[in-house]
Structures are given as structure tokens and as C-alpha cells.
Amino acid sequence: MTDPTPLDVAHAAMEAEPTDDKARLSFFERLGDCELFLLLTEEAKNENISPELFEVADGKFVLAFDREERLAQFVGQPAPYAALSGRILAMMLAGQGIGLGLNLEVAPSSILIPSEALAWLQQTLEHVPDEVEARVDAFTPPAGLPDHLITSLDTKLSTAQGLATTAYLVGVTYPGGGQGHLLGFVGAIEDAQGALAKAASEALTFSGVDAGAMDVGFFDAGDPVTAKLETVGLKFDLPQVQTSEMARPAPGRDPDKPPRLK
């Protein structure tokens, strides 16, 4: 028996506690973040893909799997596929009334996800946090945030390869006595700041935590604030790019250019 995937684990937790909103949100977070292998009718041509469509009593569905071998096991022979993230797949199917058959018949996370749920996921992932500027009076160690939010942040940031050096979660006190938390990114690439802020916002959303519980800031390594973050903050090390070689992305790998359905 192969090791369970993150989707298997999240699906099992959701099935075990069907009334637990946090478990359901965690499953959809994993679905949005993970790489999926979408079954096609033919090999992808440039940015155009043609998914296999299956029609059942509950509607039309495309089929995707979170491991290549699971797709091969389901089909039983070599088959064309496109590798893309769950968020891109939700974006691609938005408004078309098409659901997702995930890991059907080949994994414990086998499930039919209706088009309405994919539309909700796509809308949730499209949310962009507001930009604000505020002066901070004091930085303190983080306190009072649920463990599942910390886990969600750690998982999100582990995929942000090369976008920043580190991040620190701290408690903050604002002028007038207001208190909250701040996730401070150090050494972030300027063009990646929006994506990092969005990842932090998603961690809050899928953890069921009020969006006002955490702000996001960006700092240079030599910024005096960075030294304060290092002193009291919970540190997250972001993975760094190991090679300068860049390959041409396959269809579905670029979030700004999702593949087009044929």
C-alpha cells in the first residue's frame, strides 16, 4: 500500500467529521494547492487542452488524479493528461457547469465534487487582501492563534519557492492600543508580494479564522524592523531555488495563463 497523499489525509478527516467546517475547508485548501493530473482526449497542443468529459446522473465531470500512477491505474493504459494545480483547474472550469471526479475508484480520496463547489473554490481563491499601511508600536511573540492556522501557513509557504527568504509571525500593538498579528516577509521579490499576501489570506480563510486576525508586511533584510521580527517572531523558512535553469512551463503551470478548453 502506498503512502497516503495530502488529499487522502484531508479527505479522511473531512469524512470522519462531516459537520466540521474546519475539516471541510482544509480539504478544499489541499485541493486548491496540490498538483493534479487531468485526463485528456488527446495530447495538449500549446495552451489548448481537451479534457475527457463524463456525464452521469449528477452532471458532467472531468477526471483528475493527484498521482500519475493513479490516473494510469484508472485508465488501464497510457493516456494523455495535463498537469496543473487545483486552483487552475477550478479557474478553468468556472461557469461551465462541470464538476470534478477526483481519484475515482483508485484512492481513499475518491469523490465527485459538483460544479457549485468548484465555483465556490474559484471565488474563494480569487479573493485579494486589501493593502494597508499602519505604524506598529510594539512587536511581541504570537499568541492565541489556532494550531491549524500555523500548520496551514507552514504548508502554504513551503510552496513559495524563491519568492522570499523568510517570514516571521509576530503579535503587534498599534497606536491607540489595537492588537493583532503580522506575518512579515523578509527579502520578498517585489513582483511576488501580491502572491505572498494572497497565500497568507488563503491560510486564514481555509483555517476558518477571521481575516482581521493577521496583517502582512514586507521588509528588507537590513530593515530595523527585521531585527525585531527575528527576536520575537515564529520563523518560517521559505525554500530557495536551487538552479537558475528555467524550463518552458507546460499548460496549466502558469497561474496567469491557465490552459484553454477545446
CA dihedral 126, 252, 41, 54 (to 10 degrees): -20
How high is the pLDDT of residue 247?
A: 43
Distance CA 58, CA 117 (A): 13
Q: State the cell numbers at 128.
A: 485579494
Q: Are 172 and 181 in contact (CB under 8 A)?
A: yes
DSSP state of 187: S
Q: State the cell numbers at 234.
A: 515564529
Q: Which residues, listed in sequence order, are joined to residue 54 by a DSSP beta bridge? A: 61
Full DSSP string of 42-70? S--BTTEE-B-EEEETTEEEEEEESSHHH
Q: Which residue ranges does the chain devote to CATH 3.30.429?
A: 138-237
Q: Which of 208, 157, 158, 144 is nearest to 183 (CA)?
A: 157
pLDDT truncated to tens, each residue of the chain (262 aa)? 578 999 999 999 999 998 988 899 999 999 998 999 999 999 887 778 899 999 988 889 999 999 999 999 999 988 999 999 999 999 999 889 999 999 999 999 999 999 999 999 998 888 766 666 778 899 999 998 888 889 889 988 988 888 999 999 999 998 888 888 999 999 999 999 988 998 888 888 888 776 567 889 999 999 999 999 999 999 999 998 764 444 445 545 455 555 555 5
Q: Which residues, listed in sequence order, are joined to residue 173 by a DSSP beta bridge? A: 138, 179
- Kindly report the three-state secondary structure assignment for every residue of 105-149: CCCCCCEEECHHHHHHHHHHHHCCCCCCCCCCCEEECCCCCCHHH
How high is the pLDDT of residue 245?
A: 41
Collapsing DSSP to helix, strand or coil, 5 comes out as coil
Distance CA 31, CA 220 (A): 33
How high is the pLDDT of residue 209?
A: 73
How high is the pLDDT of residue 258?
A: 53
How high is the pLDDT of residue 240?
A: 85
Output the pTM of the full model: 0.74
| CB atoms closer than 10 angstroms to residue 217 | 23
Residue type at position 166: T
Q: Which CATH architecture has domain 138-237?
A: 2-Layer Sandwich (3.30)
